[in-house]
């Protein structure tokens, strides 16, 4: 029987990807705010939430085999890793806010920064709660 790996189960991997994506989005939003007055600057953003939800949904419908004895047959199919290519950075070049071809709306960026900060705090609290649960299990 294989030992349980609490640090790389689906929940922890999902939280890790969401935390990394949220961190990268924070950098992109900060970059946008810093360039609000740069002529021709185009808005940057990070996409990961819909891809993460789709990957989690496809994993739920996937039946994986667990080899509990060395005489059992091995599964020939490899399930794709959860973190493969889920976080994508892109530039919004199809919009224009001002005559200088800059498409940054400072009010929108500040609202996105606040929302993203709250999401980041929530994810860090979920990860901390998960580790506290593991600590409780180990100490019991």
pLDDT of residue 63: 46
pLDDT by residue for the chain (140 residues), tens only, comes to 455 555 667 788 888 888 988 999 999 999 999 999 999 999 999 887 777 777 676 654 444 556 666 665 555 444 445 455 678 888 888 877 788 989 999 999 999 999 999 999 999 999 999 989 888 888 87
Residue 81 sits at φ, ψ, to 5 deg, of: -65, 145
Give CA 117 to chain center in angstroms: 14
Helix (H, G, I), strand (E, B) or coil at 78: coil
pLDDT of residue 105: 93
User: CA quadruple 5, 6, 9, 15: dihedral positive or negative?
Assistant: negative
Number of neighbours of residue 40 by Cβ within 10 angstroms? 10
pLDDT of residue 79: 43
pTM, two decimals, is: 0.71
Any idea where the domains of the chain sit in the sequence? 10-93+104-139
Number of neighbours of residue 24 by Cβ within 10 angstroms? 18
CA max distance for the chain: 70
pLDDT of residue 138: 84
pLDDT of residue 17: 84
pLDDT of residue 78: 41
Whether residue 112 contacts residue 30, with contact meaning beta carbons closer than 8 Å, is answered with: no
């Amino acid at each position: 029987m294989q030992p349980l790996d609490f640090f790389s189960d689906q929940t922890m991997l999902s939280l890790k990807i969401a935390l990394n994506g949220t961190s990268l989005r924070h950098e992109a939003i900060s970059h946008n705010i810093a360039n609000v007055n740069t002529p021709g600057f185009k808005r940057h953003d990070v996409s990961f939430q819909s891809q993460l939800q789709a990957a989690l949904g496809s994993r739920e419908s996937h039946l994986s085999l667990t080899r509990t004895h060395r005489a059992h047959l091995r599964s020939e199919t490899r399930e794709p890793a959860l973190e493969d290519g889920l976080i994508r950075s892109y530039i919004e070049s199809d919009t224009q806010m001002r005559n200088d071809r800059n498409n940054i709306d400072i009010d929108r960026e500040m609202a996105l920064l606040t929302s993203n900060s709250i999401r980041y705090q929530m994810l860090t609290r979920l990860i901390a709660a998960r580790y506290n649960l593991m600590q409780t299990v180990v100490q019991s």
